[in-house]
């Protein structure tokens, strides 16, 4: 069993993917070829954004968004410490200061109610992360931003395809930034990413920054980066889009099945899960449970041949490179959840038989360690419904 099954996906799409790649090899426009524009049009339409600007990776998307917003040295960007390093890393690389706000204990997304206390005259932007495939509280975030004249960048690296109050992740704020890293919900066969915005001026800025700040050939009107998406990766993504709606349905069904099986249905073992709010869904970039004795459970799963992963073992304000940004919010919830979270195998091609194996191994491990949730509290999580 694979943690993320990319081989079954390739087998299913082989004819289209091979054909699309072959066409690129024949026309030879490896840089910003016709597939890049075709993909941008398809993704803009899919998300409902006015503009899509494809870029070299999700990390690059975050950097280019911050550069397009003209972040100045010392500008503060409020974000979550419970994320992959790239989120805070790009704020620092762009000259800014990440200011960490703690997370909600049930969803593990940034807690919007903690943001206003962290605002200072230097605050320029909010950068929520739609963690594990579920959009953060974007309406609350954009309301705060509107009151204080801030930009909002959604780090949607894990949530491409997710719905929030009927709208798509990525199209909910000043910028949405996503990743096409192979294991993300929409992945290519290497690095890739995209930015979404409705703002014509910011879209133009991002397009120029992506090609070394050029507004015309060898006319460098701003400082940029080499941040284009390869034509070959665009070709792969176009082929993958053909069954992306089906993949979203499969992910929803597999996620819902995990929910049922781990909620103690039919006398099964109750395992606490990350909650999903009723006004949105999760595309389950990760299917994540919470355990009191994660180390023991993970070892037992490994012994049973079930792969698992920790996203993420340390909040960023506890990482050596970012500890100097530990600030006014001590982020105790992030620290606690970082010790408890464990992600289980998840992909559109996960079979029911394999999923049953995962659940059986997890139930056995949890019963053997005798500590399903938080020590001293009942294990049952609040009902988590995938809309």
Ligand X SMILES: *Cc1c(COP(=O)(O)O)cnc(C)c1O
Q: Name the residues that contact ligand X, by CB under 6 A.
A: 57-59, 83-84, 86-87, 129, 155, 157-158, 179, 181, 191, 193
In the bound state, the residue with its beta carbon closest to ligand X is: 58
- Close Cβ partners of 302 (under 8 Å, ≥ 6 residues apart): 308
Backbone angles phi, psi at 127, to 5 degrees: -130, 80
Nearer to ligand X, 285 or 366 (CB): 285
Rounded to an integer, what distance in angstroms lies between the CA atom of residue 46 and that of residue 185?
14
The DSSP line for 243-307 is THHHHHHHHHHHHHHHHHHHBTGGGPPB-EE----TTB-B--SSEEEE-TTHHHHHHHHHHTT--
The Cα angle at residue 322 between residues 68 and 283, in degrees rounded to 5: 65
Instruction: Give the chain's length.
Output: 387
From the list 139, 178, 165, the residue with the least C-alpha distance to 43 is 178
The two structure tokens encoding residue 86:
């790239």
Contact 203, 50 (CB under 8 A): yes
The Cα angle at residue 223 between residues 218 and 226, in degrees rounded to 5: 70
Rounded to an integer, what distance in angstroms lies between the CA atom of residue 276 and that of residue 290?
14
| Pairing, β 167-168 against β 163-164 | antiparallel
Strands laid side by side in the 51-55 sheet: 51-55, 193-197, 175-179, 151-155, 123-127, 76-79, 97-100
| Pairing, β 175-179 against β 151-155 | parallel
DSSP-assigned beta bridge partners for residue 216: 219
Rounded to an integer, what distance in angstroms lies between the CA atom of residue 27 and that of residue 334?
49
| Min dist. Cβ of residue 370 to ligand X (A) | 33
Backbone angles phi, psi at 349, to 5 degrees: -100, 10
From the list 153, 150, 137, 151, the residue with the least C-alpha distance to 88 is 153
| Min dist. Cβ of residue 58 to ligand X (A) | 3
């Amino acid at each position: 069993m694979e943690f993320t099954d990319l081989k079954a996906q390739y087998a299913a799409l082989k004819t289209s993917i091979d054909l699309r790649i072959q066409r690129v090899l024949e026309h030879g426009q490896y840089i910003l070829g016709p597939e890049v524009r075709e993909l941008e049009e398809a993704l803009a339409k899919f998300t409902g954004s006015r503009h899509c600007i494809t870029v070299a990776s999700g990390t690059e998307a975050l950097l280019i968004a911050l550069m397009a917003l003209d972040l100045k040295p010392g500008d503060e960007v409020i974000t979550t410490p419970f994320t992959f390093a790239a989120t805070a890393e790009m704020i620092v690389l762009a000259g800014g200061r990440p200011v960490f706000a703690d997370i909600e204990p049930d969803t593990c997304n940034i807690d919007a109610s903690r943001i206003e206390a962290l605002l200072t005259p230097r605050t320029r932007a909010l950068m929520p992360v739609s963690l594990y495939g579920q959009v953060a509280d974007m309406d609350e975030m954009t309301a705060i931003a509107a009151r204080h004249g801030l930009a909002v960048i959604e780090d949607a690296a894990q949530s491409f395809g997710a719905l929030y109050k009927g709208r798509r992740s990525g199209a909910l704020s000043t910028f949405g930034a996503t990743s096409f890293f192979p294991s993300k919900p929409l992945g290519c066969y290497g690095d890739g990413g995209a930015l979404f915005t409705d703002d014509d001026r910011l879209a133009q800025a991002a397009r120029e920054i992506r090609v070394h700040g050029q507004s015309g050939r060898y006319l460098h009107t701003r400082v940029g980066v080499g941040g284009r998406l390869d034509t070959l990766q665009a070709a792969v993504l176009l082929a993958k889009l053909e069954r992306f709606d089906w993949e979203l349905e499969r992910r929803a069904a597999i996620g819902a099945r995990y929910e049922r099986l781990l909620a103690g249905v039919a006398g099964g073992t109750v395992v606490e899960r990350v909650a999903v709010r009723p006004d949105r869904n999760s595309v389950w970039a990760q299917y994540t449970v919470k355990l009191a004795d994660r180390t023991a459970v993970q070892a037992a799963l490994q012994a049973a041949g079930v792969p698992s992963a920790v996203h993420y073992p340390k909040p960023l304000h506890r990482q050596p490179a970012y500890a100097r940004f530990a600030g006014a919010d001590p982020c105790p919830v992030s620290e606690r959840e970082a010790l408890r979270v464990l992600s289980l195998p998840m992909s559109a091609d996960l079979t029911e038989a394999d999923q049953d194996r995962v659940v059986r191994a997890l139930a056995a491990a949890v019963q053997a360690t005798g500590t399903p949730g938080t020590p001293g509290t009942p294990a049952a999580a609040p009902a988590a419904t995938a809309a």
